[in-house]
Amino acid sequence: MINRYTELLDTFDKTPIEDWGFYFHDNAERIDTLIKFYEAYNKRIMNAQAKRIHEIKKSIVRITGDNRWSDIEGLELIYHVFEPSLYIRGSFTSAAEDPLGTFNIHILTPTVQAWNHYEDQLLSHYTAQEPLIAGNKTILQVATIPGLQEEQVLKALQEVYLFVSSLTLKNFLHPLTSH
């Protein structure tokens, strides 16, 4: 059955949209069923991810002693109280058979100025990936961890939190100590 759906999707890619009118008309009920299957599949993934993000949030708040972590819509863990503005983001990417396939940790700066402020320290510490620049935002992937490895996820989040906090603390304390 899955092969037939794959063939259908391949056919969609090769056929102009205006040629699909009769097919949609004749198969509306079956298409609706396929959409419902996809929605149920997607809901299962989102629910599993939201539940795990909530658990990770509770654990990382306890580990760091900082309750300013948030879980936006339950699908993304975020910490963003740094100046200049910088976000630590964590989220899952599902695999075909596992809603928690991998947990990805990114550092995001929303402005070019913020990226310029942190760039040297971040790139010398996180050397595995090149940053992605999207408009004014810069995104640096710092960790990809198997989603079921909660201890590794928490250790990585704590490490990123401590490292970025140290950059911010150094920057904050420097003007106070130089006279």
Half-sphere exposure of 17 (CA within 13 A, CB side): 0
Write the pLDDT tens digit of every residue in 30-75: 989 999 999 999 999 999 999 999 999 999 999 999 999 999 788 9
CA distance 22 to 41: 28
Report the pLDDT value the prediction gives residue 84, as an integer from 0 to 100: 92
- DSSP H or E run through 50: helix 28-64
Residue predicted with more confidence, 167 or 100: 100
Pairing mode, if any, of strands 98-109 and 87-95? Answer: antiparallel
Q: Please give the single-letter amino acid code of residue 85.
A: S
Report the pLDDT value the prediction gives residue 166, as an integer from 0 to 100: 92
pLDDT band with cut points at 50, 70 and 90 for residue 175: very low
Pairing mode, if any, of strands 70-72 and 87-95? Answer: unpaired
CA distance 151 to 170: 28
pLDDT band with cut points at 50, 70 and 90 for residue 172: very low
Q: C-alpha dihedral over 167, 170, 174, 175, to 10 degrees? A: 60
CA distance 85 to 87: 7
Task: Judge whether residue 173 has pLDDT over 90.
Answer: no
Task: Judge whether residue 176 has pLDDT over 50.
Answer: no
Q: Which pTM does this prediction carry?
A: 0.82
